[in-house]
Structure 1
């Protein structure tokens, strides 16, 4: 038996491990990764979009000058066909997805510095700078991790309902994320978060060969259960989890409901860290979880 540390999706895997083979574990530590045991992907994203909006509003409150900068970049993308050096087609939706940075402790600052000098003056007018394009390319490309894009949404697949591009469908229920409507009026442009959309498989050259596979997975209806509530209710493995209050990526209400469903799981709820707490404050987070799992705290 071994002690596992599950960060984010790793926490989902750890809860599955506790469901399927708890005899293989001596302890389970989870950071920002307690999944809902029964939510469909639609439920996950309906909870996510209001949370994402709050993070974007908080970013603009910190850097109000970014409201106009983001609108200017989005307007430029609506009227220009921008292709990044690696062949990635930078659309408005792709630009909005840079909001994924807002889920990390330093993400708001990183996004601000990216927007700050996005344009340079050229003989043909203002264009997106090489530096901006290079950074955006690094943040948006899935060349290093294409499987992330394929399996990200289907990690919620566990009944007869297909995921069917859930993040894209549910986004339509939140019209404030519509960039064209925001730019037509005077609303701030809302960034999005950690979600996968079908247009990514057109924009990103690393994902284009995987479009057919992604469509097959999105349409699949024969998923089996991911977790075993009865076995979790009888859990005997020492377990501890940190739940980041208002985590951009993992819904706090879903996480706490699951925490109550796992026998003996001890939780630490904190707003000291964002989703990347184990990276930003590893010693503090791990020491606390180990103490909880060992019943020393």
Structure 2
């Protein structure tokens, strides 16, 4: 594979901080079976006078989302910088880490080549990149990690595959089931999404009739999103991702508050409604999320092998989410569920349809977590687990916390999935206190 090029760093100053932008070239596939290399990018913040502090690496939620680009240093980042140098890692395929989208994947080859390529962008590849960056920055000295949502999945993989690289691990809303299948995950998330729908419509009783009216209108009338494609009623239903956020109820309510207008005597959807819907529904900014989402639950033969569009299949087990429900049936938004038909309707995903189909059919994606290694864990671990989390089921997180030796948990119903964004300073205080007891 050849020697890995040296780390390249550029630096500048921002509001009392030195900011170092690191770029490291690493192999695409560390087994050597697939040729090629990718760049890994990370932005490191160092508060003035605290250059001697240990590093803490932040793993973003996703998959397929880059690290934060903070316009101000606040929240959890401000708290972390009191005692750490903070490294914001763009996970491979995102941000400036050789980003993947329809354009760049088109250069890889046909659908089969793209699917093989994408298989190297799961948590195991992210962990190997982090280890390469750690060694480039500080040799064999271990560092701290903080992961939100999918970032916690990556940290669980890190604890399984390279625990020697970790001095401590902090997780918010992100302890995955160690041997849960994609079907088990989606059964749990459909149930929690149904509950959140009921809570939402109980708060805003008028909105269920409005949502039903919009869906019926879309079934009979062509309405185009700003990106040019027709908005379908089934795609409109995927707006429910907002229900998993603490502030999501109000955001969804505001989107539904006045969707209709009259144009030359004909009922139509307002342009502002279609603009807002398009902003929320398009995968243009993060196509890797849609392509990789189900693969994060693939754990090899022990959990059934291929995911086979699990969210699409399991939906049939929940009649209240039916697309064919009659006028008197409940209306339900879906949440973090990706469907094969989205690769027919979203222009950002259409070119990736073949690769997504092949990835969903792969039987041999390796397991990401090692229960035996986790049972013998010696790395200090603390995790915030949210009882009402719609996206990461509480029962699976609870079981994983018990399976990781020495892990301490802060279990609460104070937050939904976005607790770190809303109350990051307090959460980091709690986790650091737990892990240092």
Query: 2:280 is matched with which residue: 139, 146, 150?
Result: 139
Q: Structure 1 residues 124, 212: CA separation in 2 closer, same or farther (over 3 Å shift)? A: farther
Query: 1:238 is matched with which residue: 380, 388, 401?
Result: 380
User: Any conservation in 2 of the 1:89–1:204 contact (CA below 8 Å)?
Assistant: no
Residue 78 of structure 2 is matched in structure 1 by: none
* Aligned equivalents of 1:37, 1:19: Cα separation in 2: 10
Shift of 1:154: 0.6
Shift of 1:37: 0.3
* Aligned equivalents of 1:69, 1:222: Cα separation in 2: 44
Residue 25 of structure 2 is matched in structure 1 by: none
Q: C-alpha deviations, 1:73-101, integer Å up to 9, x for none?
A: 01101112222110243111111110000
Q: Structure 1 residues 124, 203: CA separation in 2 closer, same or farther (over 3 Å shift)? A: farther
Q: C-alpha deviations, 1:29-73, integer Å up to 9, x for none?
A: 000000000011011011111110000000001000101111110
Shift of 1:132: 0.5
> Where does 1:83-162 land on structure 2 (aligned, <5 Å)?
83-160=224-301, 161-162=305-306
Q: Which structure would you say has the larger RCO, counting Cα contacts within 8 Å and 6 or more residues apart?
A: 1
* Aligned equivalents of 1:188, 1:196: Cα separation in 2: 21
Q: Secondary structure at the match of 2:379?
A: coil
User: Any conservation in 2 of the 1:244–1:269 contact (CA below 8 Å)?
Assistant: yes
- Which is strand-richer, 1 or 2? 2
Q: Structure 1 residues 212, 291: CA separation in 2 closer, same or farther (over 3 Å shift)? A: same
* Aligned equivalents of 1:109, 1:139: Cα separation in 2: 14
Residue 168 (1) aligns with residue 312 (2):
yes
Residue 271 of structure 1 is matched in structure 2 by: 413
> Where does 1:1-297 land on structure 2 (aligned, <5 Å)?
1-160=142-301, 161-181=305-325, 184-295=326-437
Shift of 1:158: 1.5
| Contiguous gaps of at least 5 residues in structure 1 | none
Shift of 1:249: 0.2
Shift of 1:293: 1.0
Q: Secondary structure at the match of 1:84?
A: coil
* Aligned equivalents of 1:275, 1:167: Cα separation in 2: 19
Q: Secondary structure at the match of 1:89?
A: coil
Q: Secondary structure at the match of 1:274?
A: coil
* Aligned equivalents of 1:197, 1:114: Cα separation in 2: 23
Q: C-alpha deviations, 1:94-133, integer Å up to 9, x for none?
A: 1111000000011010000000011112114221101000
* Aligned equivalents of 1:110, 1:234: Cα separation in 2: 44
* Aligned equivalents of 1:141, 1:119: Cα separation in 2: 21
* Aligned equivalents of 2:430, 2:293: Cα separation in 1: 29
* Aligned equivalents of 2:165, 2:391: Cα separation in 1: 28
User: Any conservation in 2 of the 1:88–1:137 contact (CA below 8 Å)?
Assistant: no
* Aligned equivalents of 2:234, 2:225: Cα separation in 1: 15
| Contiguous gaps of at least 5 residues in structure 2 | 1-141
* Aligned equivalents of 2:314, 2:177: Cα separation in 1: 18
TM-score with structure 2 setting the length: 0.66
Q: Please provide the CA RMSD for this pair.
A: 0.9
Q: Secondary structure at the match of 1:172?
A: helix
How many positions carry a matched residue from both structures? 293
Q: Secondary structure at the match of 2:146?
A: strand
Shift of 1:188: 2.5
Q: C-alpha deviations, 1:177-196, integer Å up to 9, x for none?
A: 11321xx2312211111011
Shift of 1:21: 0.3
